Amino acid sequence: MRVPRLPISALAAAALLLSQTLLPAGTSWAQQADQQQNQNQSQNQTQNQNNQNQNQQPATPPSAGGPGNDNGPIALPKRTAPPPPPPPPPTVKNPPGLGNLSMSVNVPVVNVDVDVLTEKTHQFIPNLQEGNFRVFENGMPQQIIGFQQVKTPITAVLLLEFARNSYYFIEDMWQAAWSFTQQLQPQDYVAVVTYDMHTEILTDFTQNKSVVENAVESLQMPTWDETNVFDALYTTLDRLSRVPGRKYVILVGSGIDTFSKITLDKTLQKIRETPNVTIFTISTGGFARAMGGGMGGIPDSIKYLQADNEMQTYAKMTGGMWFEPRFQAEFPDIFQQINASIRNQYQLTYRPTDTKLDGTYRRIRIQLVDAEGQPLRMVDQKHKPVKYMVVARDGYTAQLPVQ
């Protein structure tokens, strides 16, 4: 196909029409070229200025905004770098198969209940001060760190010998138990336990006085002749070791042991190892023994003396008292003394200077002194000297490291 050729005059006319359409009026090609060159130079200068500004900016943006470096209408607040996270706690790896271990330090303290009573009437002597007491452990003076006079309810076990030995012994036991129940207070906790060949719990700890009275009244017909006081006392102390707080045992019986599996030595050891227990003992059959025995089945006088010595030892070791009434009319007064002793006490606390945990038995001695450190002297209202006795536990067994 052949393209038609336009004549020269037609090309010139087309060029003239194009120039009139694209160029402003009064603007020639030379002027347009100069304007285009100036515009290109201006754009080059602007681009170079922007490049220089970018080169002058820091590599990282500033941490604070503001007019000087604000790129917009809102100035950015200053940003505070967050604190570094705390280092993780150190971990200690235990040997394989061994759990977490802990260690505690046991600083032993010793609590001593002290009764100060008149020798004649066994009345409690009140209003003594901490400075009147001196505590010695194995002959070494100890510093008292706690002192108070208290009057509190009691937690007691009435441990009664109920065997077919003699009517006089049974009658004394019954009168003693009845006198004890009549002096109970509503806040007291009491359990009743009897023993012959076996130990029997008639009633567990209760505050119901009627329950205790009914348990005592049920003692009518004994079954066995044996009087196993070692077994009964050992078992009672073992049960009391699981009862918190201060406890008391009121042991009423002849003191004769005929068939126990536990020996006297083991019983005494149990008494030493049982903390916070005070034993009061009352020997029965005083009238029959004063009349010379004369009844079948009653042990001879040597056995009675041995039994009395053992009953007295139980009480002395624990800070209690031993009574040997001859007549039944003495029982109410005996239990008034026991009540005065166990309801009114001085409580001393000291930290022993011997801190070894070796399981040894350590003897305690309490002494009363005046302001000058001399033995305390007491007088009555007529300024006559008053004899007194200090009743306290004679010692305790130190703990072992594994306890």
Residues 162-215 have pLDDT tens digits of: 998 778 899 999 999 999 999 999 999 999 999 999 999 999 999 999 999 999
Domain presence at residue 356: yes
Give the residue-averaged pLDDT of 127-131.
94
Task: Give the pLDDT of residue 264.
Answer: 96
Distances (CA, A) of 395 to 258, 276, 295, 390: 29, 11, 40, 14
User: What pLDDT was estimated at residue 98?
Assistant: 52
Q: Is the pLDDT of residue 42 over 80?
A: no
Does residue 59 lie within any of the structural domains?
A: no
Region at 78 (left for phi over 0; alpha for psi -120 to 50; beta for the rest): beta
CATH at 253: 3.40.50.410
pLDDT, average across residues 331-351: 90
Q: Is residue 152 in some structural domain?
A: yes
247 phi and psi angles, rounded to 5 deg: -125, 160
First to last CA, the chain: 123
Give residue 347's domain range.
Answer: 110-397
Looking at the chain, the whole-number percentage of residues with pLDDT higher than 90 is: 47
Strands (E) in 260-327, as ranges, are 277-283, 322-323
Confidence of residue 84 (pLDDT cuts 50, 70, 90): confident
pTM for this model (two decimals):
0.65
Give the residue carrying structure tokens 């196909």: 1
Q: Higher pLDDT residue, 124 or 262? A: 262
Selection from 257, 261, 192 nearest residue 227 by Cα: 257
Q: Give the mean model confidence (pLDDT) for residues 346-363.
A: 92
pLDDT range class, residue 15, cuts 50, 70, 90 = very low
Query: Looking at the domain assignment, is residue 14 inside a domain?
Result: no
**pLDDT band at residue 287 using 50, 70 and 90 as cut-offs:** confident
Asked if the structure places residue 81 within a domain, the reply is: no
In a domain, 129, yes or no: yes
User: Residue 73: pLDDT above 50?
Assistant: no
Q: Please determine, for residue 57, whether its predicted confidence score (pLDDT) is greater than 70.
A: no
3 has a pLDDT exceeding 50 = no
Report helix, strand or coil for 51: helix
Provide mean pLDDT across the span 79-89. 69
Q: If you average pLDDT over each of 180-184, 265-269, 383-387, which comes out highest?
A: 265-269
Q: Is residue 74 part of a domain?
A: no
Task: Give the phi and the psi of residue 193 in degrees, each rounded to 5.
Answer: -130, 135
- Does residue 55 sit within a domain? no
DSSP 132: G
pLDDT at 298 over 60: no
Tell me the pLDDT of the chain averaged across its residues. Answer: 80
- Count: domains in the chain: 1
Out of 94-98, 167-171, 316-320, least confident range? 94-98
Task: Mean pLDDT check: name the lowest of 48-57, 271-280, 324-333.
Answer: 48-57
pLDDT in tens, 216-245: 999 988 888 899 999 999 999 999 988 888
Q: What is the pLDDT of residue 122?
A: 78
